[in-house]
Structure 1
Amino acid sequence: MEKKQDSFFLRTKKPQHKNKNIDKQKSKPLENEKERRQNNFDTNRPIVKDKKDESEKKPFDKKAYRLKKYSKKYKLEQWEEKRKKKLLYDYHKSIKNDPLLGSYTPKSFDEDTIDSNPPEVGKFVRHPDLIEKAAQLVKNTKKDPFQKAKEHYEKIKLEKSQRQQELQKSKEEKAQKLQEYKKKKQERYKKLSKKTKKGQPVMTGRLELLLEKIQK
């Protein structure tokens, strides 16, 4: 006999939705309606301005503007500040790249002595190798930027003073030559302008001038 299957163990078939397309069509207008409402709300929404932005705007300070644009004192101060910053930057950079930074080398027996020419009795003389090493270190190490700037300034000052001295010297020479020329001219004029009581020119002075020309 055939056994009947119990209805409990039978698979329940899901009811097929025939009207799926109809449901989709109904849902579409609802979505469109939502979008339309959202757009209307966005367009009609009142725009709230930030009061902070308006309050932060400062009034135009004409005095400060004119000071920055036309004041030589202000420009000089700005230049000095920039120069100080540059020098400090160079100084820190040179310290950073310094090979001797953070390296402590204890002094040897010969280094902690006093050099003397000629060497005195009871005092040690520095070894020549150590002297050479010290000289090389001095050459290799970079100069302090402040010291460098000072040397540059002194060099410019010296050149300026030399130029002024040369100008003064040339002026004095010119003045001396001009004086000599005027003196000669005056003497020549005196010789040429000499006349007798009757108004006739004295020939002795003129002859002397001719002689000088011939001798030259």
Structure 2
Amino acid sequence: MVKNKLIQDGGQKTRDNFFRKTLSKKVVKPSTSGEGSDDLFAKKRPFNKNKWRSEKYSFKNKLENWKDKRTEYIRHGYYKEQNREKNKFDVNKIYEEEERREKREDEDTEQVKEENGLKRHKKSFKERIQEEKEAKRAEFLRKKAEKEEALQKYQKAKMEKFKKLNKKTKRGQPVMKGRIEYLLEKIQRSVSDT
């Protein structure tokens, strides 16, 4: 049996066969005489299985982790609540301030008008909105009444047409008089439209 020969080949070991292995590169450590070099290249501590087991499986450690997470959660909620109170947006307060401002403006304008001998009532914001709502409601009711009236008119015409076209004799034969009258009316309408 012939042993495979190792050949140095540009940083790689190659064998006569098709398998290849790379050379392991050694890390060159700087000399320990320089200051601070001990911290950089300290030896790796051996694995402490006892410590790992206690951290992974002990109830005490799990309880401490839970307490830490809980305090972090409570702290987060506290800061969130403080931030919410800072940025609190009170709509009622804004409306009250707006009403006070409008009252002051109304009083000022009334005083000026009284001085000039003219006294007119200036409408407040709420009154204007209420009037607009009433106008919209009246318009809506008017349109609704028109639609209902048009629908009744259409249904009445449809019933008359149905009665004319569906008249039958005693023996169940269709009466042609009503059908011919309906066709004549239809032709007359089309001629008058064009």
Higher strand share: 2
CA radius of gyration, larger in? 1
Whose RCO is larger (CA < 8 A, sep 6+)?
Answer: 1
